[in-house]
Amino acid sequence: MSRSARLRSKLRIDLTEPAQSLNGISESQIDQAMTQLEGMCKAHSGLYEIECMQFRAMIEREQQLFKSHVCFYHSYNHGALMYELQSCMASVLTHSRRRRPSSSSSSSSSSSSSRRNNNNNNNNNNIKPLPPLVRLLVNPFRKRPTMAGIVEAFQKGTFTGQDHNEEYRALVICGSMSLFGGQTEAPPLTCFIAGYGGGSPPSFRGLMRNLLLKLGGDAHSVEGVMDRIIAIAESHGLPVSAYARKGSHNTLSGRTNGRLTGHMLQLFIKREHADSLAYASQPMGVPVQGYDSICHYAAKKPFASGQVRIYMDPEVFTDPSMTQTFHYCAHAPLVSEVVSPGLKTRGSMHQEMRVALEGFLGTQQAIHQTEQRIGFGSVRRPLVKVKFAKTAVHGGHSLGGYHGARFPGTGYRMGGAAGGSKKKKRRVVPDSSKSSSVWDVLGLGADGTDWDPFS
């Protein structure tokens, strides 16, 4: 049978090839989901076609890497600017290291060094952006060098607030196991338009300020640098209201003047490393007992589903021998790295950001100092596979945490009361008079209320 004959479903994908997200999912389920999503996209001309192209690419990449990698999805919105800023810096550092002369030729004359500095901006214009980088500073990962150690500390109750704890958040992010499977706070398909920024959001402007200060910026100039970066991001369509100066209007709703604010990373981790970098999770970061191996969890029956917590060591996620990252978003120009006059693409955004970051990246000396402060090149301890304690300590919270989370597939709502009190489980009975919704199709309950990406 020809490849074209094997392309089925509304996504036009080859269902005969294995993929993590296709585990246990039928063609009719995919079609029903895409039909409902088409209705969600009607307010934006061409968005459904853009979604289909990107979702098709996600599945095809899963199929290409299925034997060698485990796949995770991370949905976000207002965090996009921080991820792009960190990617911009890492892209310059990576480019600089590749062009750095070897020790045998390091005795080049000062005049040639000066020429390199003068030509640095021209060289920067040719830099290929790395995918969005979730974390940049390496030193926090050297203080807690393994996910196994983090899980052990978590189960002992070390992280007050569980996955809302600032130290935990600096190291670990949440993700989903599948495009279709459900059992996650941020279902990739339904969060694609607006992204996800649930929980108790951090001070994004504060995060950016702290990053630039740690990289050598001074308190007087950093505010101006931030304002320029924020203006560049806004002009390219990134949501920036969460980065407003104190006293300005600040919203984390995910809706920004009708803009499409949804972004998603597809994170692939080599199977031999996955059990050391991720663990299966319930809400609030609570480990799923019985699944020490994330590789086994990804293959569970009846379908791939659920949440995951991922240890985002920046040196691991900039190492193609261990991981691969792909970026998707509802605002299509921000997927493109093309740089052309008049086009507001991700490529042009990075180019403008590099100019705004001249104090950190403008010369070879500045690049070297920034690299040292980030910590790239520091010694990384060997990875250790995650093991769960038999009895987990949940920090005084029930498993439902603040979400009152519905676990799709079971039809139960889990109690979210603090202090470990338990509420009686109640069966969610769909209203048979209502037509089937996208949340029904994806196993997310009758109406998807708990999963509103704008909440």
Q: With 80 as the cut, is the pLDDT of residue 116 above it? A: no
Q: With 50 as the cut, is the pLDDT of residue 133 above it? A: yes
CB 183 within 8 Å of CB 175: no
Give the pLDDT confidence of 312-351 residue by residue, as tens digits: 999 999 999 999 999 999 999 999 999 988 899 999 999 9
**Percent of the chain beyond pLDDT 90?**
50
Predicted local distance difference test score (pLDDT) of residue 386: 84
Give the pLDDT confidence of 183-231 residue by residue, as tens digits: 888 888 888 999 998 766 788 999 999 999 999 998 888 999 999 999 9
Tokens of 275: 């059990």
pLDDT interval class at 55 (50, 70, 90): very high
Report which listed range, 34-48, 336-350, 383-397, is most confident: 336-350
**Percent of the chain beyond pLDDT 70?**
74
Predicted local distance difference test score (pLDDT) of residue 287: 92
Predicted local distance difference test score (pLDDT) of residue 123: 58
Report which listed range, 50-54, 82-86, 330-334, 434-438, is most confident: 82-86
Average pLDDT over residues 250-265: 67
Q: Is 172 left (phi over 0), alpha (psi -120 to 50) or beta?
A: beta
Amino acid identity of residue 101, one-letter, is P
Predicted local distance difference test score (pLDDT) of residue 348: 96
Mean pLDDT value across the chain: 79
pLDDT interval class at 3 (50, 70, 90): low
Q: Which long-range contacts (CB under 8 A, 24 or more apart) does 286-294 make?
A: 286/162, 286/392, 286/394, 286/399, 286/401, 287/151, 287/154, 287/155, 287/388, 287/392, 289/388, 289/392, 292/385, 292/386, 292/387, 292/388, 293/385, 294/70, 294/386
Q: How far apart are CA 146 and CA 160, in angstroms?
A: 19
Residue that wins the pLDDT comparison between 308 and 120: 308
Average pLDDT over residues 90-99: 85
Angle at 337 between CA 317 and CA 214, to 5 degrees: 45
Q: With 90 as the cut, is the pLDDT of residue 152 above it? A: yes
CB 204 within 8 Å of CB 82: yes
Predicted local distance difference test score (pLDDT) of residue 277: 97
Tokens of 290: 């019985």
Alpha carbon 160 to its chain's center? 23
Average pLDDT over residues 88-111: 68
